[in-house]
Structure 1
Amino acid sequence: MDSEGSRRCISSLDADEIFENLTQEERLTVSIPVQDDGTPASCHMFSYPQFHLLSNSSSPSEVALVQCQNGWEYDNSMFISTLATQWDLVCDKRALSRLTTTIFFIGVMFGAAAFGSLSAMFGRKPMLLVSYMLGMGFGLCSTFSSSFVMFAVLRFFTGFTITGSVIISTILNVEWVSIEHRKLVGVIDSLSWTFAFMSFPLIAYFIREWRWLTVAISLPTVTAIITWWWVPESARWLIANGRVDKAHYYLHKCAVMNRKQEVTVSIKPENLAKIIVTDRGNRKYSYLDLVRTPKMRRLTLLTGITWFAVATVAYGISFNISSFGLNMYLTQFVYGAIEIPAKMSNYYLLDKFGRRVTQAGSLLFVGISLMINIFIPKDRSVVRTVIAVLGKGCSATSFGTVILYSSELYPTVVRQNGMGYTSFVARLGVSVAPLILLSDDVWSYFSQVILSSLGLSAAFVAYLLPETRGKCLPETIEDVEGIRNDDLLLQDKNMDEKEGKTRGRCLPETIGNVEGIRKDIDDLLLQ
């Protein structure tokens, strides 16, 4: 929506009847300097007409140039209207065009922190609906913007509210499935992003006016609002917060769906009340609990760095889509299509090599591909695009991994806070990605060097995280710290040997020795 397209200054002679006998080409010749590629300059014009240039034997003299004084004439072959053409966000105002993306993701950043805390307090499902409703509302309102400032403010609140649906749906996925199906659900979840990414250039190809395009990408939220009625609240969250009657209701529905009604005999509200987090009591957890203890501080730092790099690099590649000189719609579609095999390979990679190696390896290959492109001449646009597409594929693998990986690393009592924090850091990275691309004005490869360095550095950081493959979700901060000594700890070194016996047999909220009830409940998890 913020694409500038090609343009030229409007000649001061265009509206002057004295020069009406001059052709359009002649007016451009005497009014606007020519760039190295032979096209009229897009940001400057001569301070006064250079009529001597009409003679073929004449050569340009040293003439003072000024910024375009009469506005711009835009090439509408690619777009009818964009943010840049609507409010002339070009040349010395070009940074404002990039700023709209940054403002949106700053909203996403703060929204992640807010919804992470709110959904931990009031439940996943209610805040999911709030996110859907407000996100669509602000998105539609932004189409009526009469100024850039108004649009920027509405985009901030759109980002702030819509991010809740992302982090909450991820948590619901993790908390409603058994261990062996977490990676499958994680891959399916990430593929939904891919199909949306591929759909956008198709929609934009047919809707080339930014206001209607905004409407088109906001309205699908109606479908999400309708399906919300069938989304169950997290039984884990309900049990952890003492709402055992509601938890029993959802577990009973789950038993019926999975044809395991016989298990519900032992799962009654009074039995669920025994499954308590004894260390929690009436305590309310907050973001400060992410840094109170040594191993949680380490986990918080490492996941934050990893998320920042993954998001910055992924969106940096996507935002730079027009730099390769190829069709923008086709390139973005290919960028999305490459994510399908990349994310489907996650199903194999996560099981074969584990979360840690997959995360670190994908970041390493992203950094290498970006580094290679620095040494390929810009006139080799096809080669550079192929390398970038491969890098985008590795980036998709990295993104798909980090979402599942992080949700498995944080304990239940602060999982929503942890995901809110990582989403906050990720959106901070996305916010600076457009600004990193502006560094190309200093040196054409500057942004590539920055993004490549981020990817390579984060690969090392990700390798320092603990492995979670085949292990039960941690219940409490004590589990992560290794204080409690039982077979449910994330750090249990013998878990891989027990994997066949323990899969689907963990209930993260359980601290008491209520093995019979725990087994029955976990047998109900979506299989």
Structure 2
Amino acid sequence: MKFEDLITEINGFGRFQKMILCISFVGRFIIPCHFLLSNFIAAIPSHHCDISFLDADGLFGNLTEEERLIVSVPTQEDGSPVSCHMFSHPQFQLLINSSSSSDLPVVECQNGWHFDNSTFISTLATQWDLVCDNRGLNKAVATIFFVGVMFGAAFFGGMSDRFGRKPMLLVSYISGMAFALASVFSTSFTMFAVLRFFSGFTITGIVIVSSVLNLEWVDIEHRRLVSIIDSMAWAVGSTSLALIAYFIRDWRWLTVAVTSPLVLCTILWWWVPESARWLIANGDVEKAHYYLHKCAVMNRKAEVTSRIKPEALAISVSDQGKKKYTYLDLVRTPKMRKLAMLTGTVWFCVATMTYGISLNITSFGLNMYLTQFVYGAIEVPSKLIVYYLLEKIGRRKTEAGAQLFAGISLMINIFIPKDQWIGRTVVAVLGKGFAVAAFCTIVLYSSELYPTVLRQNGMGYNSFLARLGVSVAPLVLLLDTFWGQFSQTILCSVALIASVVAWNLPETRDRCLPETIEDVEGTG
């Protein structure tokens, strides 16, 4: 009996599978909270040079705070103080006449900065003065985190194929929680950056392992449903982050708040089963039979496994069942090599585009908390539409189409003037919806394309390239300093490239998951 048939007989989407989904939902909830956390903890409040030291000798006398700023700090075109410079000495004549201050001698801030605390109590920028010449370090926070995610994806993908899904999930829970909580005690930006790197490295194991574990326990009929439900955790986490960040304005406590659910995850881990597919593929049929029987009992199908002996499951184990696979096996054979190239390109492009949109929440004129909430909320209808389209038109057309429309949305925004923020916001939200649809589809699509013996390695490899794209996204946004539409043009281009590449992938709708490399090489 094939494994797919056995899963169907014991109810491929019964109470057992729903239990796994609920447990993984808690862990996956924190993923968007951490992935998008830099939107808030690395935000830069309005600021200007600290001029309090000038009053040490009583220079300002009885001047009001506004008058002190007028004589000490130049103003921008909109009348607000400039952020990085001050007059070389107080210009009291500015109180008498409205002459231009543009020709007056200025110097860089001499005594730090004064930050507006109306939006944030504390951020990384206010903690370590990451403004002016050090402003780029705020964007670097996201890049450093995602570089960690990138390497973590490759690590957990390979390790969970070697040691199993369940133990590596626990490693990710505990180590992710430890590094994230340790980062709030950082005494320097360098210390924080290092701990943030390892937070990304370890936390990514949650999504890498749980997405595959969920898929390997359900039947063909419910694969797309499980994939969509699984991805809804991202939508819930994204919208929740906006609400949590709105009420917690201190970066340390915000980090603690979005990490705390991992305590519950660690407790719930005891109810997580190992993947029976993985156990069979690795020759441990006794334990595979144990979990299959447990599944059957919970799904009220105990009679099915009671008549199947563990030895019968050994039939499912190929000659390669005892072999340990590595990432090199992804490129040893022609079709596996082509598959790795195509999926890797799509993952890199869709991740760059999606995070390029998601990390840009301050350029549309809306409140940043509202923008974050709307970006999260649009994911719900987007994923519901994907659920419908995956069955009606298949994985390939859904993926290519979503990428195409995301690229078109980004292209339209290039030509909308920046002062028309309503139109730009609407188009950006639509683009985010299409980007999410593409990301949601490629996760399910890729997990169906790779064989069981290499599925976790394949997902780890793809996630590595995706995180490479995510690491690039914050840096792409910095290009707007050279030309206001530079980042949008690049994101549009990668979306259109991914659309073309996706058309070359084979369709997987209503097909059995491949178990071995031979299954992939034998299909056209």
TM score, norm. by length of structure 2: 0.90
Whether the 8 Å CA contact 1:78–1:208 is kept in 2: the answer is yes
**1:70 match:** 111
Deviation at 1:395, TM superposition (A): 1.1
Q: 2:323 matched to 1:293?
A: no
Q: 2:477 aligns with which of 437, 457, 464?
A: 437
Deviation at 1:60, TM superposition (A): 2.9
Structure 2 counterpart of 1:183, which letter?
R
Q: 2:397 aligns with which of 342, 349, 357?
A: 357
Deviation at 1:257, TM superposition (A): 2.1
**Residue 61 and residue 265 in structure 1: after superposition, are their counterparts in 2 closer, same or farther (change >3 A)?**
closer
Whether the 8 Å CA contact 2:451–2:514 is kept in 1: the answer is yes
Mapped to 2, the partners of 1:55 and 1:452 lie a distance apart of 52
Mapped to 1, the partners of 2:93 and 2:501 lie a distance apart of 63
Mapped to 1, the partners of 2:102 and 2:194 lie a distance apart of 46
Q: Which moved more, 1:44-53 or 1:148-157?
A: 44-53
**1:403 match:** 443
Over the aligned positions, Cα root-mean-square deviation in angstroms equals 1.3
**2:369 match:** 329
Equivalences for residues 121-270 of structure 1 within 5 A: 121-270=162-311
Percentage identity across aligned positions?
Answer: 68
Deviations for 1:242-272, whole angstroms, at most 9, x for unmatched residues?
Answer: 1111000011111112222222243211211
Deviations for 1:212-232, whole angstroms, at most 9, x for unmatched residues?
Answer: 111101111112112211111
Deviation at 1:281, TM superposition (A): 5.0
**3-state DSSP class of the match of 1:49?**
coil
**1:500 match:** none
Aligned length: 483
Structure 1 counterpart of 2:345, which letter?
I
**Residue 281 and residue 133 in structure 1: after superposition, are their counterparts in 2 closer, same or farther (change >3 A)?**
closer
Structure 2 counterpart of 1:206, which letter?
F
Deviations for 1:390-416, whole angstroms, at most 9, x for unmatched residues?
Answer: 111111111111110110011111110
Q: 2:48 matched to 1:27?
A: no
**3-state DSSP class of the match of 1:38?**
coil
Structure 1 counterpart of 2:101, which letter?
P
Whether the 8 Å CA contact 1:14–1:27 is kept in 2: the answer is no
**Residue 92 and residue 220 in structure 1: after superposition, are their counterparts in 2 closer, same or farther (change >3 A)?**
same
Whether the 8 Å CA contact 2:448–2:513 is kept in 1: the answer is yes
**Residue 57 and residue 106 in structure 1: after superposition, are their counterparts in 2 closer, same or farther (change >3 A)?**
closer
Deviation at 1:22, TM superposition (A): 2.5
**3-state DSSP class of the match of 1:325?**
coil
Whether the 8 Å CA contact 2:180–2:196 is kept in 1: the answer is yes
Which runs of no fewer than 5 residues in structure 1 stay unpaired?
A: 483-488, 492-527
Deviation at 1:81, TM superposition (A): 0.3
**Residue 402 and residue 61 in structure 1: after superposition, are their counterparts in 2 closer, same or farther (change >3 A)?**
closer
Whether the 8 Å CA contact 1:339–1:393 is kept in 2: the answer is yes
Deviation at 1:59, TM superposition (A): 2.8
Deviations for 1:57-93, whole angstroms, at most 9, x for unmatched residues?
Answer: 5233523433222211111111100111111111110
Which runs of no fewer than 5 residues in structure 2 stay unpaired?
A: 1-40
Equivalences for residues 331-346 of structure 1 within 5 A: 331-346=371-386
Q: 2:519 matched to 1:479?
A: yes
Deviation at 1:53, TM superposition (A): 2.1
**3-state DSSP class of the match of 1:41?**
coil
Structure 1 counterpart of 2:200, which letter?
G
